[in-house]
Amino acid sequence: MMVLSCIIFNVVRSYLSYTMVFGFGKKKTVEVPDPVQQRAVSLHEIPQIIKEFEIPRISNILQGALQLKTRVETNQKNIHELILHLESDDLKLDDVDKSLKTVGKRGKDAVVSTIKKETTAKLTSIEKYEDVLSLNNEINQILRRMGDVLGLHTRVMHVFARKYADKLKEEIGDLAQNRNSLQRLITEHENFKSSANSILEAIQKIHDFKKETVQKEHRSNEITREKSETADAITRLEQDILELKSRPEYSQFLEIKQKIDSMSHEKHEIRDKIGAQFSKISRPLNKYSYVSSFDKPMRKIMEEIIADPYDALSPENKESVIEILQAVTKSVVAGNVSVKDSDRSAELVEETIERLDEFLGLKSAYAKKISDLEDKLGIFDAKKIEEKEKDIEKARSNMIGLETSHKKLEKEISENRIQLDSTRIELEKSLTHLNKGKVIVKI
């Protein structure tokens, strides 16, 4: 139908032109625009369309190649006849110097031998496109070999066979023009194949973009669902925590915790009292630590007493502490440890020994109070709230990750769509160029 429309259009346009030229019809010129052939195609149709474009092109190339082959064969025949004349021509070499005669004959024989061979060579039959490439290669080889032999013996030809040289140049030039025409056919088709390959690559890119976009959209939907599920989980956890904190046991638990926290000042008072007493004997105790002969366990206890008497003092090491302090007293009295007032220092060390039971009692009483309160904390399992709060923290962190991934995916999907549309536009341009009419690609 499209072909019929074009034929009718051309007939009408020819008739209108005829009537205008010979004065028939109105004087006003009527311009009929060329019909624009537009077609919409899907991706899977394009490879077949390219074949439809290629078939007439190949046919035209084969026809053109056949015509050019005939011309080349005519060139070969003309050159061959010319060479036969050259071969039979003595070129008046007998009239020249013997050495020049030898050079002239050798050059003439080389030219005749090579060109006779090239002009009698049978050219490839043209049946398919590959034969055109072979023909082009054969003609190139013929031209190269003839050019080489003529170039090598150019002086002989111009001196002794000038008229043959000029005619050979003319015929070979004609042969070269036919070769150039054949090369143009090949170049045009290679450009077509390059465009076709670019079109097929663009189709594959579009398929890849579409596939990748579908995958990313699927993942985007999954993330949206995961976000919703995570938000629901956070809401449930918050409700669970509120429910746990609304129980009376939790209120009692907080009261006990507050009591424990409020007792910290009592511990500080006991620590200060013990620290104040041991600070009175810090000088002799520190000096004795340098001269003592205690074994390693005892030296460790002594270092702990010097560093923090509150933590070092316990029922388990009471006797060791007494032994250390008594050793300090003996060293002070004996003068082994230098102090300002040995009697006063010895008195303070003995006072410290006497107060050890007091200090241990204070620590024990405090520990008993704390222990009793901590036992009461069992009224409520605080770990349940802690676990749920950790779960909320994890869920919120996961939500942030999901939001980041979702935004990244949405950006990539948008970029994919832009690239897909850009590739489609380029594909339409390439197809339109080959089709000689607008092509719309349906994706």
Q: Do 56 and 180 fall into the same domain?
A: yes
Looking at the structure of the chain, the number of domains it has is 3
Tell which wins on pLDDT, 338 or 301.
301
3-state secondary structure of 5: helix
Q: Which amino acid is at 46?
A: I
Q: Do 336 and 260 fall into the same domain?
A: yes
Q: Do 53 and 18 fall into the same domain?
A: no
3-state secondary structure of 100: helix
Angle, in degrees to the nearest 10, between helices 248-262 and 264-279: 20
Q: Do 200 and 263 fall into the same domain?
A: no
Q: Do 61 and 105 fall into the same domain?
A: yes
| Within-domain flag for 153 | yes
| Within-domain flag for 391 | no
Task: Read off the tokens for 335.
Answer: 């003068």
Q: Distance (Å, rounded) from C-alpha 441 to C-alpha 41?
A: 5
Collect contacts of 288-297 with beta carbons under 8 A, ≥24 apart.
288/327, 288/328, 288/331, 288/332, 288/337, 291/331, 291/336, 291/337, 292/324, 292/327, 294/324, 294/327
| Residues found in the chain | 443
Q: Do 128 and 197 fall into the same domain?
A: yes
Q: Do 155 and 121 fall into the same domain?
A: yes
| Within-domain flag for 241 | no
Q: Which of 39-53, 70-84, 176-190, 270-284 has the lowest mean pLDDT?
A: 39-53
Average confidence score pLDDT of the chain: 85
| Within-domain flag for 104 | yes
Q: Distance (Å, rounded) from C-alpha 308 to C-alpha 334?
A: 27
Residue 152 reports pLDDT greater than 70: yes
Q: Do 300 and 333 fall into the same domain?
A: yes
Q: Distance (Å, rounded) from C-alpha 432 to C-alpha 49?
A: 12
Task: Read off the tokens for 132.
Answer: 């055109």
Q: Is-contact 354 325, C-beta < 8 A?
A: no
Domain boundary among 379, 394, 411: 379
| Within-domain flag for 360 | yes
| Within-domain flag for 392 | no
pLDDT at 53: 86
3-state secondary structure of 192: helix
Residue 126 reports pLDDT greater than 90: yes
pLDDT at 3: 30
Task: Read off the tokens for 51.
Answer: 């074949």
Q: Do 128 and 78 fall into the same domain?
A: yes
- How far, CA to CA in Å, does 361 sit from each of 204, 277, 325? 87, 15, 19
pTM above 0.75, yes or no: no
Q: Do 167 and 53 fall into the same domain?
A: yes
pLDDT at 101: 72
Task: Read off the tokens for 50.
Answer: 């390219």
Q: Which residue range is the domain that position 26 belongs to?
A: 2-35
Q: Do 108 and 162 fall into the same domain?
A: yes
Residue 188 pLDDT class (50, 70, 90 cuts): very high
| Within-domain flag for 171 | yes
Domain boundary among 344, 359, 379: 379
Domain boundary among 341, 358, 379: 379
| Chain segment 233-274, per-residue pLDDT in tens | 999 999 999 999 999 998 998 998 898 898 889 999 999 999
Q: Do 56 and 190 fall into the same domain?
A: yes
Q: Is-contact 206 43, C-beta < 8 A?
A: yes
pLDDT at 94: 63
| Within-domain flag for 349 | yes
- Across 320-334, average pLDDT: 88
Q: Which amino acid is at 242?
A: L
| Chain segment 334-375, per-residue pLDDT in tens | 888 778 888 898 899 999 999 999 999 999 999 999 998 888
